[in-house]
Amino acid sequence: MFSEAEELVLTEYMLKASRIGFPLDSKTIRKLSYQLAEKNNISFPPSWTVNGMAGEDWLSGFLKRHECISRRTPEATSLARATAFNKTNVEAFFEKLQDLYSRYSFLPERVYNLDETGLTTSQEPQKVVAEVGAKQVAQVVSHERGETVTMCGFIDAIGNALPPVLIFPRKNFKSNMLHNAQPGVKGLANQSGWMTGDFFLESHQHFVRHNCSSKEYPT
């Protein structure tokens, strides 16, 4: 329906929108394609006019013709994080990283990534076998709505992981919170279960103890 050049323009627009954090969903792409065809007097099926958008079959064919794009599930990214990821900040990061490499000649096992993630205390039930026609199938879990435990993990450039730090949503930390945890895991607690400045310092101290960082053996 569209020429090769026109489809290329559409593809480049979708890629640009995705790269700046505003990817287009299927319905928006179909509406955009209909508007493009209408403005350029390109013939299209009557159903496009009725629905105000291109058909799902057209979109499926379009995606097959352009393998550089596909349907993906986006990751929610805050505006603060998106705006902080810019050319100036990225260049400053790599300049500092290059300076560290030139001064210390780090081996891969001395280069670590630290990141936080939230772990829920109530896992989503898996599919089970039950009676056909039953209106409700229940599975007993510890909580219907779980709480979030923050995990701070440390992994080096060859894939080795140090024992993580776990922050529980409790007023005080109790040793039984780490029942069955791997050896060396650090447990902390506060009302929110989130990372704080003081806990971040404790997490670094935990990191230093486990990988023996020093002035003579830096990471």
Q: Given the DSSP bridges, would you call strands 161-169 and 148-156 parallel, antiparallel or unpaired?
A: antiparallel
From 164, 162, 191, 167, select the one nearest 177 (Cα to Cα). 167
Question: Residue 144 pLDDT more than 60?
Answer: no
Give DSSP secondary structure letters for 139-193. ---S-SSPPEEEEEEEEETTS-EEEEEEEEESSS--GGGGTTPPTT-EEEEESS-
Name the token pair of 199. Answer: 């806990």
Q: Give pLDDT, residue 128.
A: 65
Of the two residues 115 and 74, the one the predictor is more confident about is: 115
Q: Which pTM was predicted?
A: 0.59
3-state helix, strand, coil in the chain (%, to 5): 40, 15, 45
Label residue 86 by pLDDT band (50, 70, 90).
confident
For the stretch 146-199, pLDDT in tens is 688 999 999 999 999 999 999 999 999 999 999 999 999 999 999 999 999 999
Q: Give pLDDT, residue 82.
A: 80
Mean pLDDT computed over every residue of the chain: 89
CB 120 within 8 Å of CB 147: yes
Of the two residues 134 and 209, the one the predictor is more confident about is: 209
For the stretch 20-69, pLDDT in tens is 888 999 999 999 999 999 999 999 999 999 999 999 999 999 999 999 98
